[in-house]
Structure 1
Amino acid sequence: MKILIVDDDRLICKSLRVLLQRESDMEVTGTALNGAEAINACRKELPDIVLMDIQMPIMNGIQATREMKLEWPGLHVMMLTTFKDDKNIRLAIQAGAAGYLIKSTDVSNMAQKLRALVTGSTVLDAEVLKELTSPSRGKELKLLTPRETDICTLVAEGFSNREIAEHLFISEGTVRNTLSVILDKLHLRDRTQLAIYYLKR
């Protein structure tokens, strides 16, 4: 898989490149120092994954993610930042990021997390989950059937559609159809927003 690293700290870009280039199935196609550079790099390299910082000059990571997802809906964006506040996390997810990691955590298993991202899993740092999780319970969840609730739980735990189907002894088509019904009931856009919503409640 082709990876673009975006961070205004050149040392971080270099370190991540060295770390990921060790993986036989990964190729770092380039680095960018801000969101505008990242968009131009995507047009040239067409990466599979963008590893994105948030706070950068000229164009920040959230703005860049939003524009990238409009131009390349299938692009996988993983935020890697020092910010773990609720506002930045939610803005990143709403912009289209499917993963959110904190720089202070161990990134030695970064390759594993990026592979999970590509399979459709939502990858959230433990500190991010803690920030998003609250004891409140959403009244909307009471609209879900027991089967829909089971699927929500497995989505929140990072299961793919195939894994959910195997776990619940149903077809992948049934999982996809049920997810569409759940998203419609809860007025959500995709499985990443569903995972965040469910964990928060």
Structure 2
Amino acid sequence: MQILIADDHDMVLETIAAYVRNEIVSEISTVSSLPAALSAIKRSGPFDLVLLDYDMPGMNGLDGLTQALQHNGGKAVAILSGNATNKIAQAALEHGAIGFLPKTLTANSMINAIRFMLSGEKFVPVSLLQDEQAGQDHPLTRQLTRREFQVLEQLCRGRSNKEIALTLGLQEVTIKLHVRTLCRKLNVKNRTQAALTAKESGLF
């Protein structure tokens, strides 16, 4: 089987490619933009599965998904995203994606999701659909922006600023500012207390 992974964040690209190469197949192609992905499909495709970063150059929202599906002869194309939301996931499936993979998935979950899609089944984490609605209704989220909510979720997963920055496609200094704002809004002294407050309140 052949898999194409397209993402403009080198560390994300290399990490996912390594997971897939070690656990599933060795025939992995990697690129960093939609134009490069389309060229790769034209040159070496169709691929059994194409993974596209939702925010990389050339995507223009889900227009890139449509183009990739056309170039790949209708074979499986899925969306990767560090800014996973229910609306984007649903829209991706409606546009023909075989799956939607948050970059926050653990290595095992990512591999299992890819195996699932290679077998022809659609994949969207149930937790994404559930957590989105729960988060919208929770009192704490009324004072947070969507990005702050995402950073807080990562804090609850025990991730460092560097890891959060990589996952969300932001600079580490930006994450530090968000953490500082979260601490102020939640009236806590540090990131650990922020995570504890969120967990104890039942947000995550």
TM-score normalised by structure 1 residue count: 0.58
Deviation at 1:63, TM superposition (A): 1.9
Matched with 1:30 is 29
Pair 1:42 & 2:2 matched: no
Matched with 2:130 is 130
**1:34-183 pair list within 5 angstroms:** 34-46=33-45, 47-60=47-60, 62-130=62-130
Deviation at 1:53, TM superposition (A): 1.0
SS at match of 1:39: helix
Paired residues of 1:4 and 1:50 also in contact (CA < 8 A): yes
**Structure 2 segments unaligned to the other structure (5+ residues):** 135-204
Paired residues of 1:52 and 1:78 also in contact (CA < 8 A): yes
- Per-residue CA shift, 1:137-188, capped at 9, x if unaligned? xxxxxxxxxxxxxxxxxxxxxxxxxxxxxxxxxxxxxxxxxxxxxxxxxxxx
Deviation at 1:108, TM superposition (A): 2.2
Percent of pairs with identical residues: 25
Paired residues of 2:19 and 2:107 also in contact (CA < 8 A): no
Paired residues of 1:9 and 1:33 also in contact (CA < 8 A): yes
Deviation at 1:58, TM superposition (A): 2.8
Cα distance between partner residues in 2 of 1:62 and 1:73: 17
- Per-residue CA shift, 1:85-136, capped at 9, x if unaligned? 23322331122111112111213243332221122211111333326779xx
Paired residues of 1:84 and 1:127 also in contact (CA < 8 A): no
TM-score normalised by structure 2 residue count: 0.57
Matched with 2:17 is 17
The alignment of Structure 1 onto Structure 2 pairs a total of residues equal to: 133
List structure 1 runs of 4+ shifted beyond 4 angstroms. Answer: 131-134
